[in-house]
Amino acid sequence: MKITIRLIVSLTIVIAAVTAIFSLYQVHEEKQRLIGELERRTLILADSLQESVVSLIQSGSPAKLNRLVVRFGNRERLRGVVVFDGQGAILASTPELREKIPQPFPEAVRSFLENRAESRFIHIEGKKMYVYVLPLAGDEALLGTMALLHDTSYIDVRLKEIGKHNLFRFLAHTLLVVLITLVVVRWSITGPIAQIAAWMREQRMGRGRTGQPMVAPRGDMLAPLVSEVAHLAKSLALARAKADEKTSMRLQADSSWTAQRLKEHMQGELRGRKLFVVSNREPYMHLREGSTVKCIIPAGGLVTALDPVMRISNGTWIANGSGDADRDAVDAHDRLRVPPEDPSYTLKRVWFTKKEEEGYYYGFSNEGMWPLCHITHTRPIFRLEDWVEYQKVNEKFSEALLQEIDGEEAPLVLIQDYHLALLPLLVKKRRPDAKVALFWHIPWPNPESFSICPWQQEILLGMLGADIIGFHIQFHCNNFLDTVDRFLESKIDWEQFSVSRGGHTTLIKPFPISVRFDDFNTAEPKKQAPAPSRAELLAKIGVQAKYLGVGVDRIDYTKGLPERFRAIERFLEKYPEFIGSFTFVELGAPSRTHIKRYYDLLAEVDEAVSRINWRFQTKEWKPIVFLKAHHSHDEINRFYRAADLCMVTSLHDGMNLVAKEFVSSRDDGEGVLILSQFAGASRELKDAVIINPYDREEMADALFLSLTMKQQERTERMRRMRRVVGENNIYRWAGDLITALARLRSPESRG
């Protein structure tokens, strides 16, 4: 497109230049011709009048002289005739000129004194005229002068017509030449090239048949290129078909992703290579319970997804040792084999000082990057001392990883989240042969928001050290590419969604994370396990209610808890028939409470719950039950299965797995999901009741809609959402991400 625009602009400039030069020449020539014609006509008229005027002056007949002047003064384009005496005073004149001609008339005086004809262009009352003055000679002396004045406006009109005509001719010629040129170029050059490119794209994307012949383009200009491209594409297609044949057969045999299928798939992809995972949070944690040490799995889907892969690859997981008994469980090199019951891979623990934890984790990561990326109107706080600690910790992770991959050929490295944005570049500088993927679990903001960060370029450069950067949704990929385009000198390929800089290319791809889903092949809802008794759950918390809503959240300002509770308050105001019959249970896990913003949020949420309950509650009922604790998965699942609805009101979220967990838990086909449009999950779960969490009225109406929805509609919505979650579960996420990493070509072949 840029070449076409340059071609059109060039042609337009050339044609405009030629037309302008031709027009100037034509206008000049036409002007000279018209003036020459005017002068000749004036001379003829002056000669014909001269003798009669002299005779009338000598005979002393002013009346006859005036009649003669009036008779000749109204001819075409002749504005008038004026006769002057020797001092330039008017003797006779065309009536309309008498008051307009200055006396003495300078040209008449000059002509009389010099005894020769005078001609020039003058302006009278703003109008341009041509005046010709000649002396009137008697028998013995000069009697005076005679002036003929012609209107020259027709000359300007004619010149303007020429300019207008040439403008139209320029536009017509430009349009015609550009169209003809574009047709010729498209027919002879761009058409054949586009044909070759389309054919190559089909081959690259696997839509063409192996060895499919190319239709020869028109003409023979590109024949050598066509021949070479055809041979190259055929060779690549054959190689790809052979490499993928085994995997394709396995994928076709089983369309569902399970832990077992993931293990089998990864065996074929990794082919004996180890996988190295780096994250802030560890997959296994050792905690003291009295005099004993207990090994637990921290909450989160990451371990669920990657643990099977790590086991079959005998890989290494590098993470921060955060358990109070973690140091007692490792060897002299800070390593241990996990899981405890079946040691299959290595966990390498990295230790932080208190200062490093405060600056790297609580400071830069959670007071800076977290609010920056979530755009929830909480101002990010960036401190130089936090940035220094963030760099130190990323360097510490880098050293630990480089030790582990020492001796590995083209190691596969998977880095997790915003805590380690600098790590990809640190690894690539020392091990350019490593294949590195970075998965960003939170949203990516627009360029204007990201510009708040004082170290924006350092963050981007660190991330672009990776070969693949993954986000949850395409929208975040687009934001990232826009940000790179704004702040770094680089080449962005919007078709391939890649960034090339300094000879290195990074792919930017969406990998929507999900949850486990073991029974999604069943077309109908499963009936084997009845949902927990709602009455029993509510009885434990001292409430009686007909309808139950549930929310499961880490207490964070991105989750929209105050907005959610105000919406429940508004719902009870608008629909008072639900007072006494609808209770909402919030399972909230306190988080980062020593950060002031989180401490203030917890107080705000407590105040809102207390105020709303005080306003509406009765002896046996209250609208909101706020359970602050770190709840187990089984406890959460009981509330999921008993609830009529689940509310996810994120103000901004990368994905929000609570929405998918709720859908996964409802094998009875019941329940309604109310889901924020600002959560990444809303891009997949389109059968949820989608709301704007900033719109209290809309959320109140969504609660009413969910509680009054007919059973058939509820079941159909849940069935479709379960199919989506089932087909795109956590194992597919891991399989897609690690497959993309494993299939990357080496830097040498990419170069």
pLDDT band at 134 (very low <50, low <70, confident <90, very high): confident
Please give the order of strands across the beta sheet that includes 118-124: 90-93, 78-84, 142-151, 127-137, 118-124
Sign of CA dihedral 410, 411, 417, 423: negative
Q: Any idea what the CATH number is for the domain that residue 126 is in?
A: 3.30.450.20
Q: Which of 151, 177, 200 is the last residue of a domain?
A: 151
Interatomic CA distance for residues 485 and 92, integer angstroms: 82
**Residue-level pLDDT at 201:** 65
**Residue 519, both tokens:** 């029974």
Which whole-number Å values give the CA distances from 337 to 111, 233, 551, in the listed order?
119, 46, 37
**Residue-level pLDDT at 225:** 67
**Into how many domains does the chain fold?**
3
Interatomic CA distance for residues 169 and 181, integer angstroms: 18
Indicate whether 565 and 448 sit together in one domain: no
Indicate whether 61 and 106 sit together in one domain: yes
- Other CB atoms within 10 A of residue 212 CB: 15
Indicate whether 107 and 19 sit together in one domain: yes
Indicate whether 597 and 690 sit together in one domain: yes
pTM of the model: 0.65
Q: Which of 107, 135, 151 is the last residue of a domain?
A: 151
Indicate whether 444 and 544 sit together in one domain: no
pLDDT band at 531 (very low <50, low <70, confident <90, very high): low
**Residue 712, both tokens:** 């058939």
Interatomic CA distance for residues 582 and 644, integer angstroms: 10
Interatomic CA distance for residues 412 and 410, integer angstroms: 7
Contacts of 527 (CB under 8 A, 6+ apart): 668
Interatomic CA distance for residues 434 and 398, integer angstroms: 13
Q: What residues are paired with 505 via a beta bridge?
A: 500
**Residue-level pLDDT at 235:** 62
Residue 725's closest CA among 664, 668, 670?
A: 664
Q: Which of 103, 123, 151 is the last residue of a domain?
A: 151
Average pLDDT over residues 560-569: 96
Indicate whether 388 and 430 sit together in one domain: yes
Interatomic CA distance for residues 741 and 414, integer angstroms: 8
Q: Does the pLDDT at position 252 exceed 80?
A: no
Structural domain includes residue 64: yes
Cβ-contact 500, 493 below 8 angstroms: yes
Average pLDDT over residues 582-606: 90
Indicate whether 494 and 387 sit together in one domain: yes
Structural domain includes residue 413: yes
Q: Which residues of 288-306 are buried (b: 16+ CB within 10 A; e: fewer)?
A: eeeeeeebeeeeebbbbbb
Structural domain includes residue 189: no
Structural domain includes residue 190: no
Interatomic CA distance for residues 67 and 60, integer angstroms: 14
**Residue-level pLDDT at 519:** 44
Structural domain includes residue 747: no
Q: Is the peptide bond before 445 cis (omega within 30 degrees of 0)?
A: no
Cβ-contact 402, 264 below 8 angstroms: no
Indicate whether 562 and 464 sit together in one domain: no
Beta strands 624-628 and 689-691: pairing type? Answer: unpaired
The DSSP element (H or E) to which 348 belongs, if any, is strand 345-350
Phi/psi for 499 (5° steps) reads -125, 125
Indicate whether 272 and 377 sit together in one domain: yes
Q: Does the pLDDT at position 533 exceed 80?
A: no
Continuous H helices in 284-436: 301-313, 326-329, 354-356, 370-374, 384-405, 423-430
Indicate whether 549 and 506 sit together in one domain: no
Q: What is the pLDDT of residues 106-118, one digit of tens each?
A: 888 888 888 888 8
Indicate whether 291 and 383 sit together in one domain: yes
- Other CB atoms within 10 A of residue 513 CB: 25
Contacts of 24 (CB under 8 A, 6+ apart): none
Range of the structural domain that residue 134 is part of: 2-151
End-to-end CA distance of the chain: 26
Burial of 3 (0-12, 13-18, 19+ CB in 10 A): exposed
Q: Does the pLDDT at position 698 exceed 60?
A: yes
Q: What is the pLDDT of residues 638-685, one digit of tens each?
A: 999 999 999 999 999 989 999 999 999 999 999 999 999 999 999 999
Q: Any idea what the CATH number is for the domain that residue 611 is in?
A: 3.40.50.2000
What letter would DSSP give residue 99?
T
Q: What residues are paired with 685 via a beta bridge?
A: none
Phi/psi for 288 (5° steps) reads -85, 135
Interatomic CA distance for residues 245 and 231, integer angstroms: 21
Which whole-number Å values give the CA distances from 747 to 425, 436, 529, 601, 721, in the listed order?
14, 11, 52, 48, 41
Indicate whether 321 and 373 sit together in one domain: yes
**Residue 600, both tokens:** 């203030």
Structural domain includes residue 200: no
Interatomic CA distance for residues 466 and 11, integer angstroms: 44
Interatomic CA distance for residues 606 and 609, integer angstroms: 5
Segment 17-21 long-range contacts (CB within 8 Å, at least 24 positions apart)? 19/166, 19/169, 19/170, 19/173
In one-letter notation, the amino acid at residue 537 is L
Structural domain includes residue 231: no
The CA R_g of the chain, rounded to the nearest whole Å, is: 44
Q: What is the pLDDT of residues 35-86, one digit of tens each?
A: 888 778 888 888 878 878 788 777 777 888 788 777 776 666 777 888 888 7
Structural domain includes residue 215: no
pLDDT band at 207 (very low <50, low <70, confident <90, very high): very low
Q: What is the pLDDT of residues 305-356, one digit of tens each?
A: 788 788 888 899 999 998 899 999 999 999 999 999 989 999 999 999 999 9
Q: Higher pLDDT residue, 127 or 548?
A: 548
**Residue-level pLDDT at 704:** 97
Cβ-contact 687, 695 below 8 angstroms: no
